[in-house]
Amino acid sequence: MKYGYMGRSNLVVSKVCLGTMHFGRVTPDDEAFAIMDKALEMGINFFDTANVYGGETGQTETVIGRWFSQGGGRREQVVLASKVYNDMVRDRYVPNDDKGISAFKVRRHLEDSLRRLQTDHLDLYQVHHIDRRISEDEFWNTFSQQISDGKTQYIGTSNFTGWGLAKFQMSARQRGLLGIVSEQSMYNMLCRYPELEVIPAAREFGIGLFPYMPLAGGLLTGKKKAKEGSRTSQVSGEYGISLDQNQQLDQFSAFCGQLGEAEAVVAIAWVLANPVVSSAIVGVRTLEHLDLLERASELHLDEDSLSYLNKLFDINSGRPLRPAEAPEAYAW
């Protein structure tokens, strides 16, 4: 397993991050425990979760907490990340629990996450979505307090815009703070929108990118058919992509065959080839899903391979946009 730094922080994380969203919802506890044990054996030291993951809110954190409670140095070996933003009371409206960020809400939600996770601190606490209303003062007063109290060590974001990263990182600099160290965005060969604004902003401000869904929910794994009701079937509908007689994906599989690598390995390696990417988050449902992750972290795609893949999955094909960062993508 290869490692790198989380953005401009001095924290070292594995190039593949264990995504735990399926724990407690799809993956039963015993298999989730086996997956986490195996991930540590493979050298994966970075685990990502959120307070809303699981069949019920907080369930995934509870599963991870039970795994930590087994001891054996499990918690000490893991760089643990969770998230806050969404409401945790689903059956009725609670004003200060609704979607968004406030000092009132964050203190309570973080305490609840720590209780479920059976730990006294998080290593990375991430804002799950951008809150357009919160002021920079409340944002940084809130999260600086949690760092001062030892409840978390670093602050990250998820699903932020480029301007959102710039806004809050500049305000952090004005306060003499380290600020945001990471951003989670959906990023893969079929979803390259972060290249317009988010990745340039992350690069400029020293923020490490954690792409989630690097396999596009299974669309980039070589599957020729999606089972009805599966995650791949759901994402296929969201992306408007059919696996049946898909020339683009067939060409991708053929290219991977020439390289002698599995499609999933190449798809993850493509994401990791971007120097802004600190770690790729792979949502694991079964033990078998771990098999190719070490190879994916190690595979180096040469310039010719990257050029071919970038052209094959050019999101601007047939559109009045060019394959470039903003503003060059749409202005000159």
Asked whether residue 133 carries a pLDDT value surpassing 80, the answer given is yes
In this prediction, residues 232-240 reach a mean pLDDT of 81
In this prediction, residues 38-66 reach a mean pLDDT of 95
DSSP string spanning 160-229? Answer: --HHHHHHHHHHHHHTT---EEEEEEE-BTTB-GGGTTHHHHHHHHTPEEEEE-TTGGGTTTT-SSPPTT
CB 184 within 8 A of CB 252: no
Cα 122 from Cα 209, distance rounded (Å): 19
Cα 219 from Cα 156, distance rounded (Å): 28
Task: Kindly indicate the confidence band of residue 236, based on its pLDDT and cuts at 50, 70 and 90.
Answer: confident
What lies within 8 Å, CB to CB, of 323 at 6+ separation is 310, 314, 315, 316, 329
Asked whether residue 309 carries a pLDDT value surpassing 60, the answer given is yes
Share of the chain above pLDDT 70, in %: 97
In this prediction, residues 151-163 reach a mean pLDDT of 97
What lies within 8 Å, CB to CB, of 140 at 6+ separation is 168, 171, 172, 175, 177
For 97, which DSSP code?
A: G
Residue 93 backbone zone (phi > 0: left; psi -120 to 50: alpha; other: beta): beta
CB 221 within 8 A of CB 253: no
Q: For residue 79, give the 3-state DSSP assignment.
A: strand
- 40 Cα distance to chain centroid: 18
Per-residue pLDDT of 256-301, as tens digits, reads: 999 999 999 999 999 999 999 999 999 999 999 899 999 999 999 9
The predicted structure's pLDDT at residue 90: 79
In this prediction, residues 9-24 reach a mean pLDDT of 97
Is 93 among the residues known to form the active site?
no
Per-residue pLDDT of 87-102, as tens digits, reads: 988 778 888 888 999 9
Q: Integer distance in angstroms from the first to the last C-alpha of the chain?
A: 42
Average pLDDT, the chain: 93
pTM of the model: 0.93
Q: List the catalytic residue out of 3, 5, 53, 93.
A: 53
The predicted structure's pLDDT at residue 323: 61
CB 276 within 8 A of CB 310: no
Tell me the fold of 3-218+270-300.
Answer: TIM Barrel (3.20.20)
Per-residue pLDDT of 175-214, as tens digits, reads: 999 999 999 999 999 999 999 999 999 999 999 999 999 9
Report residue 299 as tokens: 């595979």
